[in-house]
Amino acid sequence: MDHSNRPGLAGRFIATLVMLAALSLPVAAAPVKLKVGLMPAVDAAPMLLAAERGYFAAEGVEVELVVFPSANERQVALQTGAVDGTITDLVAFVYNVQGGFDLRIASSTDGAFPFLVRKGFVETRSVRVAMMEVSVSNYLADAWLAGRYEIEKIFITEIPARLEMIKAGKIDMACLPEPIASMGQLAGLEKREFENPDGYYPDILAFTAKAAAEKLDAIRRFNRAVDRAVADLAKDPELARRLLVVKLKLDPRVESLMTLPTWHATRMPGDAYLAKVSAWIAGLQGKPVALDWSKYLLREALP
């Protein structure tokens, strides 16, 4: 029998082995994607810089950053799952968790919150101060102004509306984040800054409990990339000025005016600070803050 035109058994065997070996090779997994919300404030600078310099990709995580113009839009996006996490603050965090919306803190962030003073303001004991009620601005008004003034609080949720109210002279002061505060300074308002003895601000980066459970490694990689950006900013803080003006589409004249914080590597809020803010929130809501903070601090996300 003539076998000259039939494939050899040995050849077929080798081809089968090659195919099986190829099938058994591990398939490179696509980077996990994180969608993270930012506010138009200076604590977004390390994240914006990490994105610009490719640090997220280098750490193996795909990140989409979304800047929200208002706290309300940020809240809706977080609660509907449109983002995995966002920059927020401890006051809003507590109200969310107490209301049944489960979140985790991935790190503290570093902001700057000057107070703007209206034109023609004459020092007096009583002042009308604009702020958002459940927010860092309310907390800092009490922390920094209460010993100096008798405060009449005017609750205005939207940051642009607060800025317009003080520009119109309808309130005496307003707590606004940088670089928005410097926009008011451009309009001729006085910008007052206060020393922060706590070493922390109420601002935090928080993720939904679902994202924290399913994307913990990606969040850790996110923080690692942010730490690389923080190291760059420590060497050259001026990087943040240019970046914030471009990314937030600000008047270029703000660049030289904005107050920059000292950015820290990703870290959790200290226990004493958490207790201090919790006590203030208890006074705001009229009941104790009964949270076991150890449950909500995602320490595993720190590099």
Residue 29: per-residue pLDDT: 63
**Residues 154 and 40 placed together within one structural domain of the fold:** no
- Give the domain CATH number at 173: 3.40.190.10
The answer to whether 44 and 38 are in contact (CB under 8 A) is: yes
Considering the domain architecture, whether residues 83 and 206 belong to the same structural domain is answered as yes
88 and 237 inside one domain: yes
Note the pLDDT tens digit of each residue in 124-170: 999 999 999 999 999 999 999 998 999 999 999 888 899 999 999 99
- The per-residue pLDDT for 209 is 98
Pairing of strands 61-67, 85-89: unpaired
Report the greatest alpha carbon distance in the chain: 114
Q: Are residues 212 and 77 in the same domain?
A: yes
Q: How far apart are CA 139 and CA 122, in angstroms?
A: 24
For residue 130, is it within any domain?
yes
Kindly state whether residues 53 and 181 are assigned to the same domain: no
Let me know whether 218 and 280 are in one domain. Answer: yes
| 128 bridge partner residues | 152
* Res 250: pLDDT: 94
Residue 272 lies in a domain: yes
Residue 181 inside a domain? The answer is yes
> Does residue 159 share a domain with residue 40?
no
Q: What would the two tokens of residue 255 be?
A: 């660049």
Same domain membership, residue 208 and residue 64: yes
Tell which residue, 237, 176, 187, 154, has the closest CA to residue 40. Answer: 176
- How many domains would you assign to the chain? 2
Residue 31's pLDDT is 85
Same domain membership, residue 238 and residue 107: yes
Extended beta strands in the chain, E state: 32-38, 61-67, 85-89, 103-108, 115-117, 126-131, 150-155, 173-175, 190-192, 203-208
State the pLDDT at residue 16.
47
Specify if 20 maps to a domain. no
CB 127 within 8 A of CB 172: yes
| End residue of a domain, out of 192, 225, 244 | 192
Owning domain of residue 207: 32-111+200-301
192, 222, 256 - which closes a domain = 192
pLDDT of residue 22: 44
Residue 282 lies in a domain: yes
Q: Are strands 115-117 and 85-89 parallel, antiparallel or unpaired?
A: unpaired
Same domain, yes or no: 44 and 79: yes
pLDDT of residue 12: 52
Question: Within a domain: residue 18?
Answer: no
Reported as type and span, the H/E element at residue 211 is helix 209-214
pLDDT beneath 50, residues of the chain: 1-7, 9-11, 13-28
Torsion of CA 166, 197, 203, 268, to 10 degrees: 180
With respect to residue 119, please indicate whether it lies within any of the assigned structural domains. Answer: yes
